[in-house]
Structure 1
Amino acid sequence: MDKRFLNILVIIVLSLATLLWSFSIFHADFSFVVVVWVVLSRIFASFLIFQDYSLSWSKATQKTYLIKVSVNFVAFLIYMPYFYGDISLAFFLSELFLYIFAINSLMYGYYYYINRTQVTKTKSIIIYGAGQAGTKLQQEYQNSQYKIKYFIDDDTNLQKRSIDGIKIISLDRFQKNSITEKYDLLVIAMPSVDRKIVNSIFDKLQEYFVDIKILPTLSDILQDKNFSKQLKKISVLDLLARHPQDLDQKTIAKFIREKIVLITGAGGSIGSELCRLSVLYNVKQLIMLDNSEYNLYQINEELKSKKTIPVMQSVANFADLEVTFIKYKPDIIIHAAAYKHVPMVEANMSEALFNNIIGTKNCIDLAIKYNSQKFILISTDKAVRPTNVMGASKRICEIYAQNVSSHDTEIIAVRFGNVLGSSGSVIPKFQQQIKNGLNLTVTHKDITRYFMLIKEACELVLQSASIGRGGEIFILDMGQPIKIADLAAKMINLSKRDDIKIKYTGLRAGEKLHEELLLDKNDIKTKYSSITVAKSTKYNINKLNQQIRYLMQTEEKLKQIKNIVPEFHHLPNN
């Protein structure tokens, strides 16, 4: 129930009770005018002068009692002159003291009832964010071991106010008040906040807290479940996460709903998230194709949907793949299958080139042959001016996708950087090293990479596909690149392991200091700021097919890659 309405109700009921009692004691005739004047004066003093309706009865203090007394004395000064000389002063004074006694008895009775089984407060907590999420958390923590000391909020309109007696203060004031104090827990209660703000809060406040927790994003939070039970320890993913502001879920849903979708590499980090989103957006049928039994089993067990069909198959096997196309006739193909780990691809060049290039070619050719509506190639920032075989193989796939005679099939590619937490990426590696108490290995002090959350990247892939008309290479906005050394330092801070250091090991074969997302700065804008289109590359498709065949046969693979991708500059071990 709203506190304002409840406050009015209490004033009316208690005033009526104390006035009726006073009329009876003083043997005076009941006066409706007196009742109305007294009630309205108390409501006026309560709402417009003191705003005491915001006080929490469950946390009543001496200050709360004094405010209630003040409110009613001010109300007394409002209504008393109106009746002076008509009704005795003793009548109003006795009713006033009776009312003050009644309201405070009711307040303290509620206080002791609520707190009769309260847990002893042994830990201190600060909530960052005094909005709806912060207020809900405060209510949930009332009967817990945590004592909320302050709310912190950046909104100057909220600062100097309070919630149930708990002050809302600025970050600067908190830092001034807490020079020597250490608190048990900081909760960041801002589900839609940008990562830059989370980073800033973490950097400025980590020294004051034993532990820091954060609420999930708005899309992940469960509204019908206690927020306090959904809190998670702040992780490097929270500090790096980017949430695109122009994500158009209605367009994505319209694009994929009731379609037969084939996803290759369905058990991988990107593929499995695309499978989850496809089910979420209500596909007609989802064909999950992967050559890894374990990965395919994992995603199939997770989804357990009547719409999903697991197919254990390699994209490099044209004959088997064609059977799948004939059987299921997919409307949309999302090609996420690839060997992507740079050092592994360098060490297994022939197999990687065959899987990445021939696998992509097989999928595109079959999509065209069986009249699929759309084909989406998952590409990488490593395809831009490639310095390693993995990036070069993806660039060849992009060129093929742009120049093949596609008939009625719309073929696009989507290029983006590293996704946070994917298998084989730097974050799981650092987590394992920290777990084992090892120094974090970084190849170079200045090396940088682009990062994006897996879910956001996959949603933008689908959004790109929805606006693609064929022949485009879409580029996702990855924000600013992040220094891997800074990432390592942040993870060490999060782990609170002072014994772990950063060890520089030297660049690996094919590894760039800085990745790029564009080949040409004259990129084309789309209606979404998170998505741009790279300049197209014209290439004779017959010549490309001959070059690919020769690449698969020749021993001089690096030389042949250079013939296809002139900007390829292979970097050996550094």
Structure 2
Amino acid sequence: MSMKYKMLLLFVIDMAIVSLSIATSYILRFDAEIPPSYTTQMLIYGLISIVICGVSMNAFGMYRRLWRYASVGEIVAIGKAVMIGGGASYLISSIVMERRIPFSVALATTEMMLLLMGGIRFAWRAFRSYSSKSGNQKTNALIFGAGNCGALIAKEISGPNLLDRKLIGFIDDDLTKQGLQIHGCPVLGDRSQISELVDMHDIKEIIIAIPSAPRKVLSELINLCIPTGVKIRMIPGIIDLIDGKITVQTIRDVDVADLLGRDSIQMDMQGISEYLLDKVVLVTGAGGSIGSELSRQIATFSPKKLLLLGHGENSIYSIEMELRRKYPEMQLEPIIADIQHLSRMEEVFKEYRPHVVFHAAAHKHVPLMERNPSEAVKNNVFGTRNVADCARKFGSDRFVLISTDKAVNPSSVMGTTKRIAEMYIQSLNGLSNTKYAAVRFGNVLGSRGSVIPMFKDQISRGGPITVTHPDMVRYFMTIPEAVQLVIQAGAISNGGEIFVLDMGKPVRILDLAENLIRLSGFEPHVDIPIEFTGIRQGEKLFEELLFIEEEVAATQHDRIFIGKLNEINRFELELEFRRLETLLFKEHQSVLGILDEMVPSEHRRVGYGLVGVP
């Protein structure tokens, strides 16, 4: 039946309820023996009530509502429609008729209409909800957090939105809430009882509903839930709760990034705006993971023009289209160019004169660069020199190099070339008005070529997950977090610094793999095997963020530090660059030998590759 006919049927039923209520009221008033004079009154009163109540019900939208989603708002609307309709009918009937309608009849009529009209609607809602749910296999769920947000989610689950879930109860650490009920569901215990409650009630899903909790606390809760093997989900954040956007549809799965437990970054918006607002900003490697996120965040500061430079046309096209949709008024310039070509870089700088340069273009894959050291040198060393020299020649205000923790005591070609890039921009600082700085951080979750996408792909194929060594650890942060700190570092730079980001505690790769398997709904080493493949060429068991001789200084930002080495001898560095250029197309060992001389490391070389020694 179409909605139109359903509403028409409901209108007919309502009018029948009006007639039935009036007739029943007269029967009760006169003990089933209605005097003839009151029979005529009853008929006239009934006709007037049908017309007036019909108008009133329409006016309050009683036939434009989906009653399977009815709640308190619908109860209030029914009450208003019936009270106003019944009252108006009584007054008009009393005016047009000589004999006054007994007040007890009018009161009883209104009460019966309210009861029957409301009852039939909510009976229908209950029937539809039951019939929809009865055929489904329900998932038992617990909500962690018996506060306002938890109550909102409980209301959603008990409604018609989640037909395949059954809310068993709440978990909350507040002792005053233990044993209480919210929307008919009890607070069953605190965090110490999670495993017991999961087993006792056959829980398949835990929803973390504490939007105001710090990320460190959320990380602890997630780690408590992971061993139970249930699905873990959480609400997006406190802002959505304030805006009233929290619904079942907005609940998201827990991501590996949630396990880091890192609080959001407080940024100096004024300082950043001063050096980006209405400026021409160039991002090299703008199509990559870091470069594209840099471009997204820079766009929020309203630069005069944003230059998206990259070697891969598809990735540059993708970020260009994304930014044009989000910021249609902003001037964007996609540039396809190779940083290894100095003449092309000079063309770009001469035409656009960028005020700020974020240099993210680089070859970053460690094992791949071990097999192609000349390409790593050409891109990471000489490509950086080309861009940095152009920034100096064409008067850029700031140059920020995206570096890596692999540049510290490097055991790989990639790390060594990034350290040389750091040294080169340090040698340039002070030779012009351009402020040069490097920002050094560890691995970013979800970047192309990183372990997370690889692990997810391996899990999707049923495993095995491959881990190089059970004791290998790495520093991790999210891409947006890393980029926020890079932009902030650019604002506080005075030139010549190597900024080191607070990466938190290092994460064991094996733990990361096991947690990702559990978050995917499987049991590690049982459903998804884990294989150890051995340390690859160029890798270390432990990454470092600072050289032993580096001095660390704090900045005005609590997540950014400065590591300063001794001054770079520019003359000697230029001599080494010339030797590198001469040997670029010769044997790998020749190139590796110069790299080892330029950046001595406590790690030893084996064959043509580099192997870390813990």
TM-score by length of structure 1 reads 0.76
- Counterparts of 2:238 and 2:277, CA distance in 1: 23
- Counterparts of 1:188 and 1:322, CA distance in 2: 53
Quick one: structure 1 residues 190 and 261, their matched pair in 2 at CA, closer, same or farther if it must change by over 3 Å?
farther
Residues 457-496 of structure 1 mapped to structure 2, 5 A cutoff: 457-495=482-520, 496=522
Match of 1:149 among 168, 171, 196: 168
The one-letter code matched in structure 1 to 2:282 is L
Instruction: Please state how far the C-alpha of 1:408 moved relative to its aligned partner.
Output: 1.1
Equivalent in the alignment of 2:220: 200
- Contact kept, 8 Å, 2:232 with 2:519, in 1: the verdict is no
Q: Helix, strand or coil for the counterpart of 2:500?
A: strand
Equivalent in the alignment of 1:17: none
Q: Quick check: 1:563 aligned with 2:588? A: no
Quick one: structure 1 residues 537 and 161, their matched pair in 2 at CA, closer, same or farther if it must change by over 3 Å?
farther
Instruction: Please state how far the C-alpha of 1:357 moved relative to its aligned partner.
Output: 0.7
- Counterparts of 1:563 and 1:219, CA distance in 2: 53
Stretch deviating more after TM superposition (384-393 or 435-444): 435-444
Unaligned runs of at least 5 residues, structure 1:
1-56, 60-97
Q: Quick check: 1:317 aligned with 2:351? A: no
The one-letter code matched in structure 2 to 1:516 is E
Stretch deviating more after TM superposition (342-351 or 533-542): 533-542
Q: Helix, strand or coil for the counterpart of 2:200?
A: coil
- Counterparts of 1:489 and 1:391, CA distance in 2: 28
Equivalent in the alignment of 1:10: none
Q: Helix, strand or coil for the counterpart of 2:263?
A: coil
Residues 532-551 of structure 1 mapped to structure 2, 5 A cutoff: 532-551=561-580
Equivalent in the alignment of 1:67: none
Percent identity at matched positions?
38
Stretch deviating more after TM superposition (148-157 or 405-414): 148-157
- Contact kept, 8 Å, 2:235 with 2:246, in 1: the verdict is no
Q: Quick check: 1:425 aligned with 2:445? A: no
Q: Quick check: 1:515 aligned with 2:543? A: yes
Q: Quick check: 1:360 aligned with 2:388? A: no
The one-letter code matched in structure 2 to 1:328 is Y
Deviations 1:139-164 (A, max 9, x none): 33322323322232334565555433
Rg larger in structure: 2
Q: Quick check: 1:452 aligned with 2:471? A: no
Deviations 1:14-43 (A, max 9, x none): xxxxxxxxxxxxxxxxxxxxxxxxxxxxxx
Q: Quick check: 1:128 aligned with 2:147? A: no
Quick one: structure 1 residues 315 and 224, their matched pair in 2 at CA, closer, same or farther if it must change by over 3 Å?
farther
Deviations 1:257-277 (A, max 9, x none): 222110000000000000111
Instruction: Please state how far the C-alpha of 1:484 moved relative to its aligned partner.
Output: 0.8
Quick one: structure 1 residues 295 and 512, their matched pair in 2 at CA, closer, same or farther if it must change by over 3 Å?
same
Stretch deviating more after TM superposition (417-426 or 498-507): 498-507
Quick one: structure 1 residues 209 and 550, their matched pair in 2 at CA, closer, same or farther if it must change by over 3 Å?
closer
- Counterparts of 2:146 and 2:269, CA distance in 1: 29
- Counterparts of 2:229 and 2:507, CA distance in 1: 26
- Counterparts of 1:192 and 1:288, CA distance in 2: 37
Q: Quick check: 1:398 aligned with 2:429? A: no
Task: Work out the number of aligned pairs and report it.
Answer: 478
Residues 109-120 of structure 1 mapped to structure 2, 5 A cutoff: 115=126, 117-118=128-129, 119-120=132-133
The one-letter code matched in structure 2 to 1:139 is K
Quick one: structure 1 residues 247 and 125, their matched pair in 2 at CA, closer, same or farther if it must change by over 3 Å?
farther
- Contact kept, 8 Å, 1:243 with 1:456, in 2: the verdict is no
Quick one: structure 1 residues 516 and 206, their matched pair in 2 at CA, closer, same or farther if it must change by over 3 Å?
closer
Residues 265-284 of structure 1 mapped to structure 2, 5 A cutoff: 265-284=285-304
- Contact kept, 8 Å, 2:140 with 2:201, in 1: the verdict is no
Instruction: Please state how far the C-alpha of 1:361 moved relative to its aligned partner.
Output: 0.9
Q: Helix, strand or coil for the counterpart of 2:204?
A: strand
Deviations 1:128-180 (A, max 9, x none): 23344333323333223233222323345655554334334422345444443
Instruction: Please state how far the C-alpha of 1:507 moved relative to its aligned partner.
Output: 0.9
The one-letter code matched in structure 1 to 2:381 is I
Quick one: structure 1 residues 171 and 464, their matched pair in 2 at CA, closer, same or farther if it must change by over 3 Å?
same
- Counterparts of 2:424 and 2:212, CA distance in 1: 40
- Counterparts of 1:352 and 1:222, CA distance in 2: 49
Stretch deviating more after TM superposition (352-361 or 300-309): 300-309
- Counterparts of 2:261 and 2:447, CA distance in 1: 14
Stretch deviating more after TM superposition (400-409 or 308-317): 400-409
- Contact kept, 8 Å, 2:355 with 2:397, in 1: the verdict is yes
TM-score by length of structure 2 reads 0.71
- Contact kept, 8 Å, 2:217 with 2:261, in 1: the verdict is no
Deviations 1:300-334 (A, max 9, x none): 12222442211000111111111111111111100
- Counterparts of 2:239 and 2:569, CA distance in 1: 45
The one-letter code matched in structure 2 to 1:252 is I
Stretch deviating more after TM superposition (137-146 or 362-371): 137-146
Deviations 1:220-270 (A, max 9, x none): 999464532222222323323633454444543444222211000000000
Quick one: structure 1 residues 174 and 426, their matched pair in 2 at CA, closer, same or farther if it must change by over 3 Å?
closer
Q: Quick check: 1:287 aligned with 2:307? A: yes
Instruction: Please state how far the C-alpha of 1:532 moved relative to its aligned partner.
Output: 0.6
Stretch deviating more after TM superposition (138-147 or 311-320): 138-147
Match of 2:185 among 166, 170, 174: 166
- Contact kept, 8 Å, 2:369 with 2:376, in 1: the verdict is yes
Unaligned runs of at least 5 residues, structure 2:
1-69, 73-107
Q: Give the superposed CA RMSD.
A: 3.1
- Counterparts of 1:380 and 1:149, CA distance in 2: 47
Q: Quick check: 1:233 aligned with 2:249? A: no
Instruction: Please state how far the C-alpha of 1:207 moved relative to its aligned partner.
Output: 5.7
- Counterparts of 2:242 and 2:292, CA distance in 1: 22
- Contact kept, 8 Å, 1:58 with 1:115, in 2: the verdict is no
- Counterparts of 1:442 and 1:173, CA distance in 2: 33
Q: Quick check: 1:351 aligned with 2:379? A: no
Equivalent in the alignment of 1:29: none
The one-letter code matched in structure 2 to 1:566 is P
Instruction: Please state how far the C-alpha of 1:204 moved relative to its aligned partner.
Output: 3.0
Instruction: Please state how far the C-alpha of 1:191 moved relative to its aligned partner.
Output: 4.0
Quick one: structure 1 residues 126 and 249, their matched pair in 2 at CA, closer, same or farther if it must change by over 3 Å?
farther
Stretch deviating more after TM superposition (375-384 or 486-495): 486-495
Quick one: structure 1 residues 301 and 222, their matched pair in 2 at CA, closer, same or farther if it must change by over 3 Å?
farther
Equivalent in the alignment of 1:377: 401
- Contact kept, 8 Å, 2:552 with 2:564, in 1: the verdict is yes
